[in-house]
Amino acid sequence: MPYSFDDFCSDGRAALAADQGAEGRESIRVALERLLLDTDFIAQHLGSDAPEGMYPIYQDPEYGFMVLTYKMPEPRTSPPHDHGDSWAIYGQVSKHTDMTVWQHVDSNGEKLEAVRSYRLNPGMAGVYHPGDIHSIDYPAGSTFVRVTGTDLSKVARKVFDPETEAVKVVQSVGTGNKN
């Protein structure tokens, strides 16, 4: 039997039952890379016949983690932002996503610099840990699966502008699931 979406969800629960820290998230990241090989799952949610847009397809009743699919017709560069205490794991299906982690470079201000950047190509999954200030950048036609620690549409997030060093706190409803 190929690795299925049900297998992924039960492996996600098992990973969080064993460890709700970085180790558990790494287990989910590895499991997500297995799920990306499930051609039936990918065809159903992100194939040529699948509708464009972002769709939440699962929320775990016990641990609250969510799985969302993204088939994005337009390119997007998100501003650096955080999601409070939640984590997010991205699994690339087609095209690519550039992942960047930022950090403050001064103790009292909001000036940011990029400290780590890498490209997710198809079949690869990458993680943002809780509190990571991060941004994503993908071209038109990018498709990916995102797993989040909770429903991010209910989490207020800080959004940063590295040019002006301005920070604003926004409620994510309506837009938060884009990145």
Residue numbers at the binding site for Fe ion (CB under 5 A): 179
Q: How far is the CB of 80 from Fe ion (least distance, A)?
A: 9
CA–CA distance, 112 with 66 (Å, rounded to integer)? 29
Contacts of residue 40, Cβ cutoff 8 Å, sequence gap at least 6: 2, 4
CA–CA distance, 63 with 65 (Å, rounded to integer)? 6
- Say which residue the tokens 């001064």 belong to: 106
Q: Is 59 helix (H, G, I), strand (E, B) or coil?
A: strand
Q: How far is the CB of 47 from Fe ion (least distance, A)?
A: 25
Nearer to Fe ion, 14 or 119 (CB): 119
Q: How far is the CB of 175 from Fe ion (least distance, A)?
A: 11
Contacts of residue 108, Cβ cutoff 8 Å, sequence gap at least 6: none
Nearer to Fe ion, 121 or 175 (CB): 175
Nearer to Fe ion, 100 or 179 (CB): 179
CA–CA distance, 115 with 162 (Å, rounded to integer)? 13
Q: How far is the CB of 1 from Fe ion (least distance, A)?
A: 33
Nearer to Fe ion, 69 or 179 (CB): 179
